[in-house]
Amino acid sequence: MRECFEPQFEAINRRDLAQLQLERLQATLNRVAKNVPLYRNRFAAHDINPETFSDLADVRRLPFTTKADLREAYPYGLFAVPLRDVVRLHASSGTSGKPVVAGYTRNDIRTWSRLVARILVAAGANRDDVVQIALGYGFFTGGIGFHYGAETVGAAVIPASSGGTRRQVAIMQDYRTSVFVATPSYALHLAETLCAMDVNVNALSLRYGLFGAETWTEAMRAAIEDRLKLTATDNYGLSEIMGPGVAGECLEQAGMHVNEDHFLIEIVDPATGTPLPDGEEGELVVTTLTKEAFPMIRLRTGDITHIIPEPCPCGRTMRRIGRIVGRCDDMLIIRGVNVFPSRVESLLLEVEGVTPNYRIVLTRQGALDEALVEVEPTENLLFDRVAEHQALQEKLERRLASDLGVGMTVRLVEPGSLARTAGKTIRVEDRRDLAAPESDTVCRP
Amino acid sequence: MLTLRNVDIYYGRVHAVRRVSLHVAAGEIVALIGANGAGKTTLLSAISGLLRVSGGDIDFDGRPVTTEKPERIVRLGLSHVPERRLVFGPLSVEDNLRLGAYSCFKRRQVAADLEEIYAMFPVLRERRGQQAAALSGGEQQMLAIGRALMARPRCLLLDEPGMGLAPQVCKEIFRHIGTLRREKGLTVLLVEQNAKSALGIADRGYVLETGRVLLSGSAEELLANRDVRRAYLGREKDA
């Protein structure tokens, strides 16, 4: 069997796993029914007695938890422990401007670290590695999640955080980084920078790369592996559930092993919520089995994937999920940051002088996403007043960048120039061709 | 080795144990902790067949024992050391031990086992002829454990072995439990109100509250859990 961080769990036999999941599901239900009013009331409203749950399949009788529930519970409404037991808070962006706040107890942090350590080891890392984490630190769970995981593995961790590509390159060369953790688009951007800086990739020490937090493709994997000379794996997590560490690929590179001893997964039809059989594509629904501070019962993740039930040659018995192929809702992922068009709209409208007629155009400049917002100003802004024009444009850009956490270019367009239709207006034009890397970006040393 | 799924137990109309699922793997020490009346003792009695469950399954060594009689369960290798020890007071120490081997008919084996127990608890050898009632609490506990071991179990159910004992004596008993696992590969399910000593030797634990499992995890995790600290470890020390 391939290297495992916790083989006693990762390669557990499925019968023992079912027992463990059942025990943990039952205890979780008892805890949320006792400590979380939303769940207690919802169980009562649906006439559900959590004590009658005697089988894992019974989870299907529970109502879903939606992102709307999470927003309503802002900030601490869904916590199952008092705040004094919480040692960490993270937050993710949300549609309404209110983020979802996730709390962690000391045990949650420890569990999280171990689960990320599993993902890292499965992806090839070990204690001899130098791990460069080029994901955002801070509210975002990516950077800190991988940081703790890599420390748990015993590797030497470089908390490089995101951005500063030339500096990242210098670190990579000087510190002899062997494992690189980033978003896939950033990995490609870095590859271009390496090329532009005329760095010999073969002289770097890179062995493995873990990429996640946004949708990517096999073609992108091939491009990253070719240009960074490393083995690239996909991983999956979301801050509502924990952050990174929910699932990750092993070196077979054939789907992400879900840490099923901590997360119960289902695939449902996104339209009807009906559970779908293994192998069919649908929305991923997750129930946490061990979270203390912020347990989730049947959270609809909005992510579209499928379960791969076949055993994996690596020896892990944890089932895999396929690549995330998209989002159920309209959320855009721009450079790894979640952006909802509705949020862009509300921000635009908060600024005087613009109309609700706008369009977001997404393109790829090399490997990086570029977002352009075209918006029509109100009639009284005259197009010959260049200074005024410029000021409004900059104001909008600043506003969008500070609230969304990702920069967007704003262009003011002639009033009436954006297409209008009676029904659903097309607000987003995604010109990024996520299916294939652009050939003109390919660069070989 | 021992698996419970969805076990319900009623005392008359009182629902004492509510849909409890738990497992003990071979060679593990697992602690069941919880306040008085949480259903811990009830659960142990159901496992050893002294009480009937009203729902759910109990498997021992992969074989269902939910409806087996207690004496049959002992023969399968599962012995129960009851709460408050329940040694036979008027009988001698040695007779108490011999009673533990009542399911074994080979004299020679009984004698050998007796030797082994005396080697483990030398104080019992010293007092082999005395009435059990004359022993101290700690000695009675050793006797109760010795008596259970005479049935040559592979899995031991221990109910509050530290109850009413001086801290020093309690510590010694727990040390013996650790030794039994280490040297004999014994599997132990341990019920204890003193969560700290129980989790000190256990690998994992389950927290029972009013008949329900509220929490499970490694001993280390449970010791770090603030709820457990508040409820069962006495005054909370702020970490």
**DSSP letter string over A23-37?**
HHHHHHHHHHHHH-H
Report how many domains make up chain A: 2
Q: Is residue B102 part of a domain?
A: no
For A351, list phi and psi in degrees, rounded to 5.
Answer: -95, 130
Element (H or E) spanning A224, and its range? helix A218-228
Whether the Cβ atoms of residue A442 and residue A381 lie closer than 8 Å to each other: no
Shared domain check, A404 and A379? yes
Please report the number of interchain residue pairs, chain A to chain B, with beta-carbon separation below 8 angstroms: 56
Q: Give chain B positions within 8 Å (CB) of A85.
A: 226-227
Closest CA of chain B from A51, distance in Å? 6
- Closest partner residue to B221 (CB to CB) among A53, A84, A107 is A107
Chain A partners within 8 Å of B216 (Cβ): 23-24, 27
Cβ separation A81–B227 shorter than 8 A: yes
Range(s) of the domain holding residue B8: 2-87+154-232
What's B170's domain CATH number? 3.40.50.300
The CA–CA distances, whole Å, from A63 to A6, A81, A386 equal 33, 22, 55
- Measured in whole angstroms, the distance separating CA A38 from the mean position of its chain's CA atoms is 25
pLDDT given at position B202: 96
Tokens 């992922």 correspond to A333
Rounded to 10 deg, the angle between the A386-404 and A341-350 helix axes is 130
Structure tokens at A224: 């990253």
CB neighbour class for A17 (10 Å; exposed up to 12, middle 13-18, buried from 19): middle
Do the domain assignments include residue B123? no
The backbone torsions φ and ψ at residue B218, rounded to the nearest 5 degrees and listed phi first, read: -70, 155
CB spacing of B226 vs A105 below 8 angstroms: yes
| Predicted local confidence at residue A443, as pLDDT | 41
Both tokens of residue A94? 């949300």
Contact call for A107 and B217, based on CB within 8 A: yes
- The string of DSSP letters for A263-300 reads EEEEEE-TTT--B--TT--EEEEEEESS-SSS--SSEE
Inter-chain residue contact B217 with A22, CB threshold 8 Å: no
Q: Is residue A1 part of a domain?
A: no
Answer whether residue A243 is part of any domain: yes
Residues A306 and A359 in one domain: no
pLDDT at B80: 94
Tell me, yes or no, whether B110 lies in a domain: no
Higher pLDDT, A215 or A224: A224
As a whole number, mean pLDDT of residues A424-434 equals 70
Give the residue-averaged pLDDT of A191-199: 93
Question: Among A36-50, A373-387, B69-83, B152-166, which is the least confidently predicted range?
Answer: A373-387
Q: Does A318 share its domain with A172?
A: yes
State the nearest Cα–Cα gap between B6 and chain A, in angstroms.
6
Confidence of residue A193 (pLDDT cuts 50, 70, 90): very high
DSSP for A154-209, written as a single string: TPEEE---S--HHHHHHHHHHTT--EEEE-HHHHHHHHHHHHHTT--GGGS---EE
Contacts of A30 in chain B (CB under 8 A): 212-214
Q: Does A352 lie at the interface with B, CB-CB under 8 angstroms?
A: no
**CA closest to A35 among chain B residues:** B214
* Contact predicate A20/A12, CB 8 Å: yes
Please write the tens of the pLDDT for every residue from A37-70: 999 999 999 998 888 899 999 999 999 999 889 9
* Distance separating alpha carbons of residues A342 and A224, to the nearest angstrom: 33
Q: Rounded to the nearest 5 degrees, what angle is found at the Cα of A423, between the Cα atoms of A421 and A427?
A: 65
Say if A76 falls within a structural domain.
yes
Q: What integer pLDDT is reported at residue B232 of this predicted model?
A: 74
Tell me how many degrees the CA angle A272-A278-A279 measures, rounded to the nearest 5: 95
pLDDT of B236 over the 50 cut: no
A 266-285 near B (Cβ less than 8 A) = none
**pLDDT of residue A441 exceeding 80:** no
B interface test, pick of A9, A32, A49, A54 with most B CB neighbours within 10 Å: A54
Compare all CA atoms of chain B with the CA of A110 and give the residue at the minimum distance.
Answer: B221
Does B117 contact A at CB distance below 8 Å? no
What's the confidence (pLDDT) of residue A84?
A: 93
Question: What is the distance between the alpha carbons of residues A65 and A70, in angstroms, rounded to a whole number?
Answer: 8
Does residue A2 sit within a domain?
Answer: no
- The CA distance from A28 to A23, in Å, is 9
> Which CA distances in Å does B180 have to A157, A363, B52?
42, 68, 29
Residues listed for chain B = 239
Query: A364: domain CATH number?
Result: 3.30.300.30
- Would you say residue A98 has pLDDT above 50? yes
Residue B6: list chain A partners with CB under 8 A.
54
Q: Which two tokens stand for residue B64?
A: 């269902």
Determine the distance in angstroms separating the CA of B207 from the nearest CA of chain A, rounded to an integer. Answer: 9
Does the residue B217 lie in any domain?
A: yes
pLDDT at site A437: 44
Annotate A107-161 with DSSP letters as a single string: HHHHHHHHHHHHHHHHTT--TT-EEEE-S--SSSHHHHHHHHHHHHHTPEEE---
**Beta-carbon separation of A52 and B217 below 8 A:** no
pLDDT at A35 over 90: yes
Interface contact A173, partner B, CB < 8 A: no
Cβ within 8 Å, pair B226-A85: yes
Place of tokens 């608890």: B121
* Closest by Cα among A64, A31, A437 to A286: A64
3-state SS, residue A283: strand
In a domain, A313, yes or no: yes
Say whether A22 and B5 touch across the interface (CB within 8 A). Answer: yes
Looking at per-residue pLDDT, the higher value among B238 and B173 belongs to B173
Mean pLDDT of the residues in chain B? 90
Residue B21: its chain A contacts at CB < 8 A? 19, 22-23, 26
Among residues A295, A329, A363, which one ends one of the domains? A329
Mean pLDDT, chain A, rounded, equals 88
Please state the rounded mean pLDDT for residues B94-118.
Answer: 86
Are A173 and A206 in contact, with CB atoms under 8 Å apart?
no
User: Per-residue pLDDT averaged across B21-42, rounded?
Assistant: 93
Q: Do A105 and B23 touch (CB under 8 A)?
A: no
pLDDT at B82 over 60: yes
Residues of A in contact with B217 (CB under 8 A): 107, 290
Nearest to B218 by CA among B205, B232, B234, B201: B205
B216 neighbors B209 (Cβ within 8 angstroms): no
Residue A94 in domain: yes
Both A265 and A354 in a single domain? no
A24 to B216: CB separation less than 8 angstroms, yes or no: yes
**CB < 8 Å to A54, chain B:** 5-6, 19, 56
* CATH number for A287: 3.40.50.12780
Within a domain: residue B118? Answer: no
Question: What pLDDT does A439 receive?
Answer: 39
**pLDDT class for B144, splitting at 50, 70, 90?**
very high
Supply the pLDDT for residue A217: 81
| 3-class secondary-structure state, position A90 | strand
The pTM is what? Answer: 0.82
- Nearest CA to CA, how far is B61 from chain A (Å)? 13
Q: Are residues A225 and A340 in the same domain?
A: no
Q: Average pLDDT in the A318-324 region?
A: 95
pLDDT digits (tens, 9 = 90+) for A226-267: 999 999 999 999 999 999 999 999 999 999 999 999 999 999
**3-class SS at A356?**
strand
Q: Cα–chain-centroid distance for residue A49?
A: 33
- The answer, yes or no, to whether residue A199 has pLDDT greater than 90, is yes
pLDDT average, residue stretch A278-284: 92
A52 contact residues in B (CB cutoff 8 A): 19
Position B94 in a domain: no
- Which residues of chain A neighbour B206 with C-beta distances below 8 Å? 23, 27
Distance CA B121, CA B119 (A): 6
Instruction: Kindly tell me if the per-residue pLDDT of B71 is higher than 70.
Output: yes
Lowest mean pLDDT, pick from A189-198, A307-316, A325-334: A325-334
Residue at a domain's end among A285, A308, A329:
A329
Nearest CA to CA, how far is A215 from chain B (Å)?
34
Q: Is B224 on the interface with A (CB under 8 A)?
A: yes
Identify which has the larger pLDDT, A284 or A220: A284
Residue-level pLDDT at A413: 86
Asked if A379 and A418 count as a contact pair (C-beta separation under 8 A), the reply is no
Q: Residue A22 belongs to what domain range?
A: 7-329
Q: Do B213 and A30 touch (CB under 8 A)?
A: yes
* Number of separate domains in chain B: 1
Q: Give the chain B residue whose CA is nearest to the CA of A31.
A: B214
Residue A29 has φ and ψ, to the nearest 5°, of -65, -40
Residue where a domain terminates, one of A303, A329, A355: A329
Residues in A 91-110 with any Cβ partner in B closer than 8 A: 105-107, 110
